[in-house]
């Protein structure tokens, strides 16, 4: 629902346009709170960093260099980012707290099966916390 101020700004903007000017409005369903900074730090500081070290240990390289954090992030988004509606792939910047938690878990599972790497869960009670958020 638009606030009074948002409605006024929208109406003022539209009223200032010349007749015949086409306007496009985008509506999006908000599925929850935006991911937290703690989730981003855990992802890059724990998941991405541990995978980078594992790649170094295994001698994995791309054109002679070990994959950096950005490359690993791209791999994980493509391999594990299917947390959106109907399993669509989302970038970390578009994820809610619930989706970011699922993405983190997907990355842990991928690392376990593909790299035999056990990434610790920074919060063992994350599922219970998400259930509480969903009940609000």
In a domain? residue 26? no
In a domain? residue 72? yes
Alpha helix positions (H), 21-125: 37-42, 49-58, 69-80, 97-115
In a domain? residue 99? yes
Q: Which two tokens stand for residue 33?
A: 């709170």
In a domain? residue 92? yes
Give the 3-state secondary structure of residue 96: strand
CA separation for the pair 87, 129 (Å, rounded) = 22
pLDDT per residue of the chain (136 residues) written in tens, 0 to 9:
556 677 888 888 888 888 888 888 776 555 566 777 888 888 999 999 999 999 999 998 878 888 999 999 999 999 998 887 887 888 888 888 888 888 999 999 999 999 999 999 877 776 676 566 555 5
pTM reported for the whole predicted model: 0.67
For the chain, the domain total comes to 1
The domain in which residue 112 lies consists of 31-135
In a domain? residue 48? yes
């Amino acid at each position: 629902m638009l606030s009074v101020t948002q409605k006024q700004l929208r109406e003022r903007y539209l009223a200032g346009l010349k007749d015949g000017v086409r306007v496009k409005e985008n509506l999006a369903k908000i599925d929850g709170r935006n991911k937290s900074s703690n989730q981003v730090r855990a992802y890059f500081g724990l998941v991405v960093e541990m995978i980078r070290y594992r790649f170094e240990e295994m001698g994995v390289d791309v054109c002679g260099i070990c994959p950096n954090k950005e490359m690993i992030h791209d791999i994980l988004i493509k391999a594990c980012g299917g947390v959106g509606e109907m399993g669509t792939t989302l970038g970390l910047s578009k994820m809610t707290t619930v989706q970011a938690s699922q993405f983190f878990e997907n990355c842990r599972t991928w690392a376990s099966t593909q790299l035999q790497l056990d990434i610790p869960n920074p919060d063992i009670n994350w599922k219970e916390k998400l259930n509480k958020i969903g009940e609000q």
